[in-house]
């Protein structure tokens, strides 16, 4: 005797269009968010090399401050004076108390005093996690 199996009609009535729309929306969101994050790191500066630099394992909320060869301070694509930089950093510290970190990307050709001035502004904004970015040493 043959067994007759009735096929369910539930899959025929299930509309997948809204779920596909949501997946595409999420995909677009993450692609755009990743692009904005790259812009801070794409500022073209030759960085000094460090042979003992270690990669970070966890990615905290970081602010990238660029100091070019002439000593101009650039944050978020805008050139800032020390007062404006202090205002921005104090706001960031208030938004992330105790967790705000700053990465200073100083051109290797700039005077050290410009990088130190940015570090002083970080200290005045009460940001204790302040680091200087370096490029990995080539051939060592």
Q: Where are the domains of the chain?
A: 46-136
If you average pLDDT over residues 114-124, what whole number do you get?
94
Predicted pLDDT of residue 46: 78
- In this predicted model, what pLDDT tens digit does every residue of 72-115 receive, in sequence order? 999 988 999 999 999 999 998 888 887 889 999 999 899 999 99
Separation of alpha carbons 96 and 113, rounded Å: 28
3-state helix, strand, coil in the chain (%, to 5): 40, 20, 40
Look at the domain 46-136 and name its fold: Nucleotidyltransferase; domain 5 (3.30.420)
Q: What is the pTM of this model?
A: 0.58
């Amino acid at each position: 005797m043959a067994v007759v199996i009735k096929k369910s009609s539930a899959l025929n009535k299930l509309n997948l269009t809204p779920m596909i729309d949501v997946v595409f929306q999420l995909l677009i969101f993450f692609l755009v968010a990743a692009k904005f994050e790259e812009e801070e790191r794409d500022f073209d500066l030759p960085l000094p090399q460090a042979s003992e630099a270690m990669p970070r394992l966890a990615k905290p909320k970081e602010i990238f401050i660029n100091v070019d060869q002439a000593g101009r301070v650039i944050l978020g694509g805008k050139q800032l004076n020390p007062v404006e930089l202090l205002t921005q950093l104090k706001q960031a510290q208030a938004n992330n108390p105790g967790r705000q970190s700053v990465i200073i990307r100083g051109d290797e050709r700039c005077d050290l005093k410009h990088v130190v001035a940015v570090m002083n502004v970080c200290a005045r904004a009460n940001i204790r996690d302040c680091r200087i970015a370096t490029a990995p040493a080539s051939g060592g």
